[in-house]
Structure 1
């Protein structure tokens, strides 16, 4: 029934996996888009995300970073072997742990410096499969608002990690905590209720990692602009009637409600 309501009120831009992507009717394809999904938790970019099997304190299973001969989630040397941190802060603060990269990087640091990457425990980010959003012009570093429709909590996030699989709802540990969701990359997450509003073209692009406060300020500004100049009829407030706390969270985040 809720999807039927959305079909009547909004434009369906595409479907990624089993998730419908929505926009305001008559919006350009490059305009803001939104969707509802499950939630999974990403540890990438955290200095303690991965390490050799048996190393205590790692945040995620090593298998999620690849395997010998094909490591996609950790930094390797020229021979393809994982680089282990030397324990000397701030470049490599946790001895024996691997270095986990993200798609968004800080160009001020070299590839073997953990500060080059978006730390999942500190930066509220989301991971998206960019190949499915080319029509929108989405780029690394763009901003989004993520709302937990079940409890009404929200966080502004940055698109910091790319993925290939057509699944949505993957966010950093920091984002999951802000949303009040189970934040363990191994066993955390939710099976529904995560609503994400993405603003293509909203970021400053590759090469810099804004902190959480900067992401919040910039994201709130884009949300206000969206409600002021794109959604003048407050259509988005009615998009998810199955989640009664969604509309309040949206206005709490800065969306302007017109009486």
Structure 2
């Protein structure tokens, strides 16, 4: 059994919203690239939706391999041709010009892939220090989006809804990507929770279909600090969604976006 939780939402068509007469409690806030962001009156949550999807393997202990046999192409980690590889791969403490290669464990021989969010209580050479993309549903913030006022910080919790299939998943903000990237980069685990099948970070194959509606709860990490386990992420996500009127209220906003 896969170690993840799913919530299945039904009747997500526009008639569903009309029948239940659910109103959107969010107002226009700002834009990021082509995406419109809405903010609620208490500023405790904002939402956006996008069809764009990119699959992230970072944080998985088998994400990148020196022979390029990992889950993702090591070129996507900047290795070996770009100086920024050390923002994705852990440096070898004995030779910082090279990525560290795991010496033992299930994935001996692989590099250690980092995420911007990590467990500060664990050593930098401990693969469990980072957020495993194959197990933890997470969202990646583009660099410029992360620097915008009010978007929150690493460790914040959110919920994603696939408007086509009805599947949903809580998630954590666990990584910061390229400055000008589009919204919609997600971990392998989040992609699968939203309906993806055999997702491939190398080429995006198997990504979930349709528009995804995201609700973010900025600075929720202050109350629910990292690390959290999968069950806690989903429990907190559900609690936060209920605090802003529930899923139906959030989904009603999609018609105005």
C-alpha displacement of 1:205: 7.6
Equivalence for 1:13: 29
1:126 and 2:139 are equivalent in the alignment: yes
Using CA pairs under 8 Å that are at least 6 residues apart, name the structure with larger relative contact order, 1 or 2: 2
Range with bigger deviation, 203-212 or 215-224 = 203-212
**Which segments of 5 or more consecutive residues in structure 1 lack a partner in the other structure?**
3-7, 244-259
Q: Kindly tell me: are residues 136 and 52 of structure 1, through their superposed partners in 2, closer, same or farther at Cα, counting changes over 3 Å?
A: same
Q: Kindly tell me: are residues 97 and 215 of structure 1, through their superposed partners in 2, closer, same or farther at Cα, counting changes over 3 Å?
A: same
**Which segments of 5 or more consecutive residues in structure 2 lack a partner in the other structure?**
1-13, 15-23
Q: Secondary structure at the match of 2:145?
A: helix
Equivalence for 1:194: 212
1:48 and 2:62 are equivalent in the alignment: yes
Q: Secondary structure at the match of 1:175?
A: helix
1:114 aligned to which of 127, 144, 156: 127
Q: Kindly tell me: are residues 221 and 137 of structure 1, through their superposed partners in 2, closer, same or farther at Cα, counting changes over 3 Å?
A: same
Equivalence for 1:220: 238
C-alpha displacement of 1:235: 4.8
Q: 1:148, 1:122 → 2: CA distance?
A: 19
Number of corresponding residues: 224
Q: Secondary structure at the match of 2:174?
A: strand
Q: Deviations over 1:56-108 (max 9, x none)?
A: xx111111111343313111135321111112x3xxx3121000000111112
Equivalence for 1:5: none
Q: 1:66, 1:175 → 2: CA distance?
A: 23
2:99 aligned to which of 82, 103, 123: 82
Equivalence for 1:236: 250
Equivalence for 1:246: none
**Aligned structure 1 segments of 4 or more residues deviating by more than 6 angstroms:** none
C-alpha displacement of 1:162: 1.1
2:160 aligned to which of 146, 151, 156: 146
Q: 1:31, 1:220 → 2: CA distance?
A: 15
C-alpha displacement of 1:199: 0.6
C-alpha displacement of 1:18: 1.3
TM-score relative to the length of structure 1 = 0.77
Q: 2:89, 2:180 → 1: CA distance?
A: 18
TM-score relative to the length of structure 2 = 0.78
Q: 2:78, 2:210 → 1: CA distance?
A: 27
Q: 2:120, 2:33 → 1: CA distance?
A: 33
Q: 2:181, 2:32 → 1: CA distance?
A: 6
